[in-house]
Amino acid sequence: MSLTRREFMHSLGIGTTSLMLPGLPASARSRLNIILCMTDDQGFGDLGFHGNPLIRTPVLDRLAAGSVRFNNFYVCPVCAPTRASLMTGRWSLRTGVYDTYNGAAIMASEETTLAEILQKEGYRTGIFGKWHLGDNYPFRPQDQGFEESLVHRGGGVGQVGDVMNYFKFDRSYFDPTLWKNGVPVQTRGYCSDVYTDAAIEFIETHRAEPFFVYLPFNAPHTPLQVPDEFLRIYTDKDPAEASYPRQGRPLPEMSDLERDAARRVYAMITNIDRNLGRLFERLRSLKLDSNTIVIFLTDNGPQQRRYTAGLRGRKGSIYEGGIRVPCFMSIPGQTPGPAGIDIPAAHIDMLPTVLSLCGIAVPRSLNIDGHSLVPLIQGRGVSWAERPLFFHWQRGFPEPYRNIAVRKGRYKLVGHAPDTAGIEDLELFDLQEDPYEMADLCASLPQKARELKQDFDRWYADIMDSPHLKEPRRIRLGSPHEDPVLLNRNDAKGDEGIWAQDRIHGYWDVQVENDNFYDFSFFFRESVNQEGTMKLRLGTTQRSLRNTDPAARQLEMRGIFLKKGNYRLEPWYRAGGGNHLPFYVEVRRSRI
């Protein structure tokens, strides 16, 4: 539902407008600043505001109390797809993102992001934390609208895609090496503190201009590393004693390891809470709080077992515990209703909502799937209140009815079934009467189940025809924008189990931009352990290098001529009758 021109006002900037919300102070009627905060694997129940009796989140609780709250806000079951939808206002499958690794977390460079739109409208744009939508040109945040970026690579600090911190093991979250505008830099401090410091510095630098700060923390994602100062807060707390006040039943049985994990997660979230307190205090001291929209949400449900406010399921699940998350919007001049907004909303709505709040029209060239939530914020009705929302997750491309869900109005259809499933193989829940998804209504309401299944079938047929799913996103070699290029395991394709394994086949989809000579360095997670032959293949170009050093962890091939074109870059070390995949590969134009 689009806004009329009367709902906009002219600001001092040429050709710009700013939405007039009821009560908006005159000083805030120029372009509003935006701070979008997102945490990683923090569930709906990981807030004191949502009834968690143990966790300490005073800053977030105050933010929730003073914000517009979306009580039924949805994201994807895992992180990269959520981030793609958040940035584009489109279902993640349209952007080419359908998983968290195996090359499936690279968003098509043709997608237009919220940052790109705001940048064209005169905003200063910065990202500090987790991107997880492509680590190489042309998919990096600086290629997608962020003029300032300080990010880790891959899906998390210390994961296989983050080769700069992978070998730090249990200290990867401390003093991490991050990528600042494409260049690795050594930082000092705990990762969440480092991101917050960078965000504050960016705001201080650009306080006289409209800014968009995207602050996606990688905590409380594993590894569960946290400063002792925060862990001590929970040393004597027993997460297993926390009860479900909304449901009146205790948590499931928790092992000692699960208790320790919950304490660590709570400590990581309390650290984030304190960092947000620092950020908000700096906004106040700069007198920017009255002209800044603050949005907080999380990317999916909790990974580990702990308090979920009674919601069923965790990360990866399409039950409510995996996809329903907190979403708070603090908007200057907007007094929130005490009960929050119950109409379902989703990640695809964030782009059009932010643009509407800033008085910017969604470019007509974009084919977005979301709607602006501004009418709901203003207490007005919308024609799309009972639109279907779709959820899915499997390793690889989505399969019909396998870990899928459709929410439409009060009803939700859930599938854990093969593609031949009928409605008798699915589950139907009335979330208004049964928010914890306990009573399957498929047998008693077959027509409603059939309606939602048909909605999914139509959506699936359309979404799986998306061009970006058919054509691989190719990392560019030989580009002046990135040289050398570091190819990591998060973007390597191959078997579903490709991760840190050594004896596995994998490849990277690449595009060689120009005829040229290239040097290749192959880095192994451990020594190759025996004599063998390093092999490299790109199309019809194949080269071999004999190695006689069993202690080698790095091998090099230099001066290989490649013609412009699209290739699978396939490297393997052949020894002892088996193949070894390099942990990562560095490619640079030869200096000969």
- Convert the pLDDT of each residue in 552-575 to its tens digit: 999 999 999 999 999 999 999 999
- Rounded Cα–Cα distance for residues 93 and 470 (Å): 11
- Using DSSP, state whether 206 is helix, strand or coil: coil
- The letter for the amino acid at 176 is P
The answer on 455 and 558 residing in a single domain is no
| Confidence label for 247 from pLDDT (cuts 50, 70 and 90) | low
The answer on 495 and 371 residing in a single domain is no
Q: Which of 451, 467, 483 is the last residue of a domain?
A: 467
More confident residue, 434 or 334: 434
The answer on 444 and 338 residing in a single domain is no
| Residue 469: per-residue pLDDT | 94
Q: Is residue 510 part of a domain?
A: yes
Q: Are 339 and 310 in contact (CB under 8 A)?
A: no
Percentage of the chain lying above the pLDDT 70 cut: 94
pTM recorded for the entire structure: 0.94
Question: Which is it for strands 148-152 and 124-130: parallel, antiparallel or unpaired?
Answer: parallel
- Using DSSP, state whether 102 is helix, strand or coil: coil
The whole-number average pLDDT for the span 363-392 is 96
Percentage of the chain lying above the pLDDT 90 cut: 90
| Residue 441: per-residue pLDDT | 98
Question: Which is it for strands 68-69 and 324-325: parallel, antiparallel or unpaired?
Answer: unpaired
| Residue 246: per-residue pLDDT | 67
pLDDT digits (tens, 9 = 90+) for 279-318: 999 999 999 999 999 999 999 999 999 999 999 999 999 9
- The letter for the amino acid at 405 is A
| Confidence label for 248 from pLDDT (cuts 50, 70 and 90) | low
- What integer best gives the mean pLDDT of the chain? 93
- Give the residues across from 532 on adjacent strands: 547
Name the residue range of residue 420's domain: 388-467
DSSP state for residue 89 in the 8-state scheme: S
Please report, for residues 162, 177, 341, 421, 479, the alpha-carbon distance to residue 489 in angstroms, rounded to integers and kept in the order given: 9, 18, 41, 35, 21
Q: Are 212 and 118 in contact (CB under 8 A)?
A: yes
The answer on 267 and 367 residing in a single domain is yes
The answer on 191 and 74 residing in a single domain is yes
The separation between CA 119 and the C-alpha centre of its own chain, rounded to angstroms, equals 21
- Rounded Cα–Cα distance for residues 455 and 215 (Å): 35
Please report, for residues 257, 279, 282, 473, the alpha-carbon distance to residue 286 in angstroms, rounded to integers and kept in the order given: 44, 11, 6, 42
Place of tokens 């929410």: 407
Write the CATH number for 252.
Answer: 3.40.720.10
| Confidence label for 30 from pLDDT (cuts 50, 70 and 90) | low
**pLDDT of 209 over the 90 cut:** yes
pLDDT digits (tens, 9 = 90+) for 502-532: 999 999 999 999 999 999 999 999 999 999 9
How many structural domains are present in the chain? Answer: 3
Q: Is residue 150 part of a domain?
A: yes
**pLDDT of 203 over the 90 cut:** yes
**pLDDT of 12 over the 90 cut:** no
**pLDDT of 78 over the 60 cut:** yes
Q: Which of 377, 400, 416 is the last residue of a domain?
A: 377
| Residue 86: per-residue pLDDT | 98
Q: Is residue 99 part of a domain?
A: yes
Q: Which residues contact residue 580 at a Cβ distance below 8 angstroms, ignoring those fewer than 6 apart?
A: 502, 503, 524, 528, 532, 572, 573, 574
**pLDDT of 6 over the 70 cut:** no
- The letter for the amino acid at 105 is A
Q: Which of 467, 487, 517 is the last residue of a domain?
A: 467
Report the chain's terminal Cα–Cα distance, integer Å: 58
Q: Is residue 382 part of a domain?
A: no
Give 417-423's long-range contacts (Cβ < 8 A, gap of 24+): 423/449, 423/450, 423/453
Question: Going edge to edge, which strands form the sheet with 554-562?
Answer: 485-487, 584-589, 516-523, 554-562
| Confidence label for 335 from pLDDT (cuts 50, 70 and 90) | confident
The answer on 117 and 244 residing in a single domain is yes
The answer on 353 and 311 residing in a single domain is yes
| Confidence label for 32 from pLDDT (cuts 50, 70 and 90) | very high
Write the CATH number for 398.
Answer: 3.30.1120.10
| Residue 208: per-residue pLDDT | 96
**pLDDT of 363 over the 80 cut:** yes
DSSP state for residue 424 in the 8-state scheme: G
The answer on 553 and 577 residing in a single domain is yes
Q: Is residue 146 part of a domain?
A: yes
Q: Which residues contact residue 62 at a Cβ distance below 8 angstroms, ignoring those fewer than 6 apart?
A: none
The answer on 403 and 346 residing in a single domain is no
- The letter for the amino acid at 559 is G
| Confidence label for 337 from pLDDT (cuts 50, 70 and 90) | confident
**pLDDT of 580 over the 80 cut:** yes
Give, for 276, the enclosing helix (H) or strand (E): helix 256-285
The answer on 274 and 363 residing in a single domain is yes
Q: Are 159 and 221 in contact (CB under 8 A)?
A: no
Phi, psi of 295 (to 5 degrees): -120, 135
Q: Is residue 561 part of a domain?
A: yes
The answer on 495 and 450 residing in a single domain is no
Q: Is residue 526 part of a domain?
A: yes
- Rounded Cα–Cα distance for residues 152 and 165 (Å): 9
- Rounded Cα–Cα distance for residues 230 and 37 (Å): 21
**pLDDT of 195 over the 90 cut:** yes
Write the CATH number for 521.
Answer: 2.60.120.260
- Burial zone of 421 (CB within 10 Å; 0-12 exposed, 13-18 middle, 19+ buried): middle
Give, for 63, the enclosing helix (H) or strand (E): helix 58-65
Q: Is residue 383 part of a domain?
A: no
- Rounded Cα–Cα distance for residues 300 and 76 (Å): 6
**pLDDT of 21 over the 60 cut:** no
- Rounded Cα–Cα distance for residues 167 and 159 (Å): 9
The answer on 492 and 461 residing in a single domain is no
